[in-house]
Structure 1
Amino acid sequence: MPEHIPHESHAEGEFAGRTALVTGAGQGIGAAVAAALAARGAHVVATDRDAHGIDELAAASRAAPGTITPRVMDVTDAATVNTVVADTIHRHGALDLLVNVAGILRGSAVAQLTDADWADTFAVNATGVFHTSRAAASHMTARGSGCIITVGSNAAGIPRTGMAAYAASKAAATAFTKCLGLEIARSGVRCNVVAPGTTDTAMQRSLWPDDSAPEAPPGVLDGDLRTYRTGIPLGRMAAPQDIADAVLFLASDRARHITLQELYVDGGATLR
């Protein structure tokens, strides 16, 4: 008889008893992921280099079945990352899930892109993923179970004007996550990537002429021939919760046989 795996796709206790560390949890996708995990019973260590957002997130989630513990952490600082991961394991007994969300965007044509912008982008978006994943994977492989999910970008798989540093850094993070997943698969640890497209976050709005506008500029949804940008076939931007839902699926037991994969959540924008 095949082994029965219970399906609790939206059950309150789907992640009860599990510990997750989420980077970039101060706003946007990271905050949505952390809140969704806590709503399903997880103990979540929500990290960001700015305390304000994660403190607000923890306060807003006090009634959740799970818990959210805010921790200030800069993913570019390997020593701090190692300390936070070790402390998480000490306090909760294990680290079951790492979600890499922390990221920055420095939009510029390559000719105007500074050395500092390039270095800063890679330090957070690629090297930061290396720091956190290395620390988590060491524990998970010794334990024989765990899951690492990196939130990349559809820009990693399609050229974008004015986004060379961002796209290249996300491509690096994507390749790294898959290589790590291949190395540690036999240890029972799964590694996957969720690749969002245009999502209604502060990062996305920073690209708009008016970041307080109630709707996205026409080119975002319909495409822009001048920048070789396709539109979004579904005709809407993603909400952070749309990305969080994909992360939660890949983190769940329902995805126990899925690893080394890259799931695009972009409304069809890359026509993949």
Structure 2
Amino acid sequence: MNAEEELQGRLALVTGAGRGIGGAVVETLVARGARVVAADLDTEGVTGLAETHPGRVTALRLDVTDAGAVDNAVEEAEAALGPLDIAVNVAGILRSCEVVELGDDDWAQTFAVNTDGVLHVSRAVVRGMAERGSGSIVTVASNAAGVPRTGMSAYAASKAAAVMFTKCLGLEVAARGVRCNTVSPGSTLTDMQRGMWRDAGMADEDEATRRVVAGDLASHRTGIPLGRIAEPVDVAEAVAFLASDRARHITLHDLYVDGGATLRA
């Protein structure tokens, strides 16, 4: 089967689809033949994707922190477009600061999107998938979920929770033909990454990239052995693989896409 036909006939829901990794996931799934419901709280990006891929991408405004809204969106999407075969949790936020400066609101908001959002979307789509006896859920987490990072406690904790939630869900529904996996990127050229650089006072993107690749002993980062920072498409390709039949015997897996940065600790 050609790559362009790999996901032919499949319908996917992608959250956080307006830009960055989420946008790349939409483009990659469409390139493999899928139809995609592209969901984001900020509709500008997903509207652009729908205009670029008429009939293949449906734009949806969705707040993943609102469980009722998620349930309604999944019900309406399936009524209009058919059963969902794939769900990809990409929506996420980052509040970067040391723990002593971390506010309760920042902690709560981080978990509301990065963890509660994964619960809401996964729970809403898995009901139908389990009844039909097939489906794939992929959660985009972070290598920070497995390796401590300075200034990223809320983000790392929320992503670690999302990873374990996805594995537990996968165990519960494996016998009903639903696979649940996670993809854990390292540093990736997204708006979130650029925001971290700006917060750290690094205005020059090329210099910031060199520093990430080289590592930083003061912040306990090893650098990236492959010598390059990831692009969103690198993560999207891993998502597409796990969503496809090529990964039909893979579930409860956490696939690191970080160029070896964590030494797979």
TM-score band w.r.t. shorter chain: over 0.9
- Give yes or no for the alignment of 1:143 onto 2:135: no
Secondary structure at the counterpart of residue 7 of structure 2 = coil
TM-score by length of 1: 0.93
Shift of 1:56: 1.3
Task: Please provide the CA RMSD for this pair.
Answer: 1.2
Match of residue 60 from structure 1:
52
Amino acid corresponding to residue 207 of structure 1 in structure 2 = M
Distance 1:211 1:55, change over 3 A: farther
Gaps of 5+ in 2: none
Task: Name the counterpart of 2:181.
Answer: 192
Q: Which has the higher helix share?
A: 2
C-alpha spacing 1:212/1:102, structure 2 compared with 1 (3 Å): farther
Q: CA deviation at 1:255?
A: 0.5
Deviation string, structure 1 residues 31-63 (Cα, Å, up to 9, x no partner)? 00011111221110000001111111222234x
- 2:49 and 2:102 map into 1 onto residues whose CA distance is 34
**Aligned-pair CA distance for 1:213:** 2.7
Q: Secondary structure at the match of 2:71?
A: helix
Q: Secondary structure at the match of 1:147?
A: strand
The yes-or-no answer on 1:45 pairing with 2:34 is no
Tell me what 1:256 maps to.
248
Could you tell me how far apart the structure 2 residues matched to 1:261 and 1:78 are? 26
- Cα separation, 2, equivalents of 1:181 and 1:81: 20
> How many residues were matched structurally?
261
Which of 6, 18, 22 is the equivalent residue of 2:14? 22
Please point out which of 244, 250, 269 is paired with 2:261.
269
Shift in Å at residue 11 of structure 1?
1.9
Letter in 2 for 1:148: I
Partners in 1 of 2:180 and 2:38 — Cα distance?
20
1:33 corresponds in structure 2 to 25
- Cα 1:41/1:215, change in 2 over 3 Å: farther
Q: Counterparts of 1:1-272 in structure 2 under 5 Å?
A: 8=1, 11-62=3-54, 67-208=56-197, 209-210=201-202, 213-272=205-264
CA contact (8 A) 2:202 2:208 kept: no
Q: Write the distance in 1 (CA, Å) between the matches of 2:222 and 2:214.
A: 7
CA contact (8 A) 2:209 2:229 kept: no
* Runs of 4+ with deviation above 2 angstroms: 209-219
Match of 1:5 in 2: none
- Distance in 1 (CA, whole Å) between partners of 2:209 and 2:8 is 41
Structure 1 222/214 Cα, relative in aligned 2: closer, same or farther at 3 Å? closer
Query: Which amino acid in the other structure matches residue 31 of structure 1?
Result: G
In structure 1, stretches of 5+ residues that fail to align are: 1-7
Question: How much has 1:218 moved relative to structure 2?
Answer: 3.5
Provide the identity percentage. 61
Aligned-partner Cα distance in 1 for 2:203–2:43: 23
Whole-Å separation in 2 of the counterparts to 1:230 and 1:34: 31
User: 2-side partners of 1:164 and 1:125: how far apart?
Assistant: 13
TM-score by length of 2: 0.96
- Partners of 2:52 and 2:217 lie apart in 1 by 42
SS at match of 2:4: coil
The Cα of 1:219 is off from its aligned counterpart by 2.7
d(CA) in 2 for partners of 1:198 and 1:178?
A: 23
Which piece of structure 1 moves more, 23-32 or 88-97? 88-97
Q: Which amino acid aligns with 1:115?
A: D
Q: How far apart are 1:212 and its partner, in Å?
A: 6.2
The amino acid across from 1:39 in the alignment is A
